[in-house]
Structure 1
């Protein structure tokens, strides 16, 4: 190594060392306000074996107001479920207690990383934040400091061959009937319950050409406990066939990390008696029914009703016109009204007639024309008088 290369190497090493020391000092200064502990019940585990992680964060400096944000970082190498959390946010004496369950999803060396943020505020800001309501939301003002936390190093071992379940599980099953008519469904209910990795199995009933299988998405129910999560997974199926068939025995190979041994869960072979259905009882026993044709008879019916309605309407209308014409032609006043030459003659005629009360409005107009200033055409008044006779 020549002197130039050596100097460059020394400068790079010294710079890295100074950066490390600076980061270490910052972390130590931040950690003066609180203490945190992390404890995993194991660091060597099998694939899908649950690892319990306990995290405690306690404020040690009562002279400031602190809050914390802690969470495992997501990764495709593991799955984290929070089992329990107890947070005491008493001012100046914050305490966080968290219990997580970590499920490794990959074998080999796995690092579980975390995010921790220390949030610093004061009493005035807390009071201002607490004064807000739903209509006037106020964000708590804080100064946030990310805290570096070393990862949790895990070594994950592969499972024994052909293992489908990891944990301690029990199996229960119910079959609706073993005798059924052809093509009618037979329902199954299979339940896996226990502590361990959620037991989701794609084809828990083997596929076969002897029957058709219909299934729903498994129903998963999870209950947290101090020892981990207790899972109950329910599978609902229906099988149908045209003739009798046999479902072979179902064997699920499982591995119990707590007992360090494999075990099996079984459903024995099931035989089903399928009764044939008489062809005459089928809904449709015609191989090739005639094509359905458009039915236009409704148009013919509609036109008939329309014709009858139209004929009735015009018949009633013509009878009304005929009646009016007959009344108009036979009334004795028609000719007399037509022969009047002056307003005065028309007035005398209408007032003298016994039906004069029907012409009261016309009489008023005639009087206004004769004795007032309002003049109305004689022919107009005669026309109105004739209209009153209809």
Structure 2
């Protein structure tokens, strides 16, 4: 069966789109742009293949689809700026195969202006075609929340901004096969800036509550009770909860450089959130000291090392820095995570605890970093010698909370 869609870039964004497409009955071709971080279980892959997914064996296959969506990863470069290398590579590869009347959509998280100023020239130069005349070009911010059981592709509205009104409508027709609602932005730059706003909204609000966590600990105030009460306000407040750091793929984006202005609020939020892993280690050392123990030589068990509960994804997880800093203090670090069979920090394997309760009972300090659904936190609080809960997930009074 010929593919109707090509997903270029098979990281977490591309795989999510490919899964949604084949579930909607769209024959889909997957093309890798590099060593992407996306992963599938064997059962998920079998299901996708049965529904019409096929890995591309040659770039030439990209010229046989009606719609091509670029989902290439955009990591941070050494200077902290978005590295668009894989987006550029994907564009050049697609341009060599691009046919007239194809709809090209960019979903990678990019700075505003990338679709028009980077992607469009590459596609036009490599294909000899004109965007908006010979082929359609649009941007759509990806809205992926792995593990969310309430919102998936079908009931999450899709924002689309096309180079021309016809480009927008062509992209809207495609996404209309995947989702219940399509929202039309004024153009690609507006759609790209939606991604910036949504990502930074999360970052800034987490930073606020993380700073409140430090303040409330110093004041002797129960922040978790404060949040419980505050979220009863029916307007003007959305509850965010503190944690050991901000992980995941949606990195904060201070992308106002072309204007000569930086997003000062985002810069500050990044600073606040980057201080959380060291703060957790500071609290851990203080707790050990209060109980007559030193961090040096202490047995510390980390529970849940993924960036999100009930997922195997380690991308950006604060557990990495926390483990490293604990080891630098001389602590003996081990971990338990039902979703991570093996884990290393700076190429140093971290011992994995097989028996959770036995490991917690033997550790001088247990730190809950991620509240996986399988954890019996009441039972854990009884077994652990000393428990630091960075997620506020344990029963009140059962552990020391962040």
TM-score (norm 1): 0.20
* Structure with more contact order per residue of length (Cα contacts < 8 Å, sep ≥ 6): 1
TM-score (norm 2): 0.20
Larger Rg: 1
Which protein has the bigger strand share?
1
Which protein has the bigger helix share?
2
